[in-house]
Amino acid sequence: MRSADAWRVSPQRVDPMSWFTRPLVPLGFGAMVLFFGFGVLSATWRLSAEPWLDIVAVLLMASACVLVQLSVRPLHPAFGVRQAVAPLALTLVGLVLATVSGIESTVLAQHWWAPIGVGFVVATLGPYSSVRETVVYGGVLSAATAVCGAIAFVTPAVLWPPLSVAVITGGSVVVATVATGIFSWVFVSSTRSLLDGAGGPSQRQSAEAAEAARRVERRTLARLGTRVAPFLAGVADAGEVTAADRALAGQLARRLRSDLVSEVNRSWLDRVAMFGRISVVDPHRRADRMNPAQRTALRALLMAVVEHPAATVGTLFIELRPEADGATAVALSLDFALPEGRRAMMLAPYYLALQTAVDDLSWDPARDLLQFQVPAARDRP
């Protein structure tokens, strides 16, 4: 993996199964903002001239964390700069209110709660932002916090010079930015190395998909051949065709015709499911509308799950149903005996390949449920 990738890619992008970034991380930081902000305010309540402004500021910063949580839900667009604007704006507004409250208060700069609250917001954005984005967000918030701190606490009665006050107030946000950036860089580098070390997903999946298709074809031909070959061998050994042979040939012809008609009516997914622990619900034959890339990625995922020793003896259930806009909704229920982290790493290469071919891909580890859509524009073989 190129080292530059670790600066441009967010942890959420390389954590496709979201077993780390999916949980309620933003809500956790939002709770910390509330706990720390209100805790400090309760201790300095008598020192503040307008404590209600601080209360509103705490709620705004906690709301910024909640907004990040709402922006990273399944089936939502990937978190980016556009999604970060609103949380950053709420944080800056809260910072301004806390500054206005601090101007008239007797709270010391080193006891000001706002820099820690801003630092929690930076940490909230970390799992969903690249290192470069984190540096930009943290740099803007650090500078704003330092300026606001200087405005609020540089007075004739304070012995600290303006630069010292700016360092004291903005330092917490700088530390949070550096720590979050290091976390993102290490996480992305380590995860991408693991995924790259597992081999090229596309090459491996193509080979597995081709082998699975050949295996299904061989078994189908063998199943049909076992009915005809003994009869032909018997006729060849006898050297003549009797009336009984003609009757049996008619029966075999009817059976083969029925089997061939059934084979034609099966989708490629039905053929894969014939020889594995896979149950397919596809009454409208939507599987045949998938293009080769979608078929390859889905087939590789199914075969990986069926053949993995951690998959339990139960049946995999996959359902395809048409949507009103012509798209195909797909739900795949898996059954694993692996911890969530190891399960995510095992499925990650196949998930990544499938993610490039379908829309709205999401993974619910609580139910082992994979969902995605095959868009109508590409919904053809």
Along the 381 residues of the chain, how does pLDDT read in single tens digits? 455 567 888 887 776 555 555 567 889 999 999 999 999 998 888 887 788 899 999 999 999 999 998 887 655 566 888 889 999 999 999 999 999 988 878 888 888 999 999 999 999 998 888 899 999 999 999 999 999 998 888 877 667 788 888 898 999 999 999 999 998 888 888 777 665 544 444 445 455 555 555 665 556 555 555 666 676 666 666 767 677 766 666 666 666 555 544 554 556 777 667 656 778 888 887 888 888 888 888 888 887 777 766 665 556 788 888 888 888 888 888 776 666 656 666 777 777 778 777 888 877 766 777 888 888 754 444
* CA gap 361, 305 in Å, rounded: 17
Which of 149, 170, 197 lies at the terminal end of a domain, its last residue?
A: 197
pTM > 0.95: yes or no: no
* 224 and 119 in a common domain: no
10 Å CB burial of residue 224 (0-12, 13-18, 19+) is middle
Neighbours of 236 (CB within 10 A): 8
Which of 152, 181, 197 lies at the terminal end of a domain, its last residue?
A: 197
Domain containing residue 373: CATH number: 3.30.565
Question: 192-233 pLDDT, tens per residue?
Answer: 766 554 444 444 545 555 555 566 555 655 555 566 667 666
Residue 359's domain comprises 202-378
* CA gap 69, 80 in Å, rounded: 13
Question: 349-363 pLDDT, tens per residue?
Answer: 777 778 777 888 877
Domain count, the chain: 2
* 265 and 151 in a common domain: no
* CA gap 160, 153 in Å, rounded: 9
Show the beta-strand stretches assigned E in 86-175.
none
* 263 and 184 in a common domain: no
* 260 and 365 in a common domain: yes
* 227 and 161 in a common domain: no
* 210 and 85 in a common domain: no
* 164 and 279 in a common domain: no
**Strand 316-322 and strand 278-281: pairing?**
parallel
pLDDT for the residue numbered 343: 67
Neighbours of 25 (CB within 10 A): 19
Q: Is-contact 99 92, C-beta < 8 A?
A: no
* 306 and 166 in a common domain: no
* 211 and 140 in a common domain: no
* 287 and 252 in a common domain: yes
* 245 and 158 in a common domain: no
* 186 and 136 in a common domain: yes
Which of 143, 177, 197 lies at the terminal end of a domain, its last residue?
A: 197
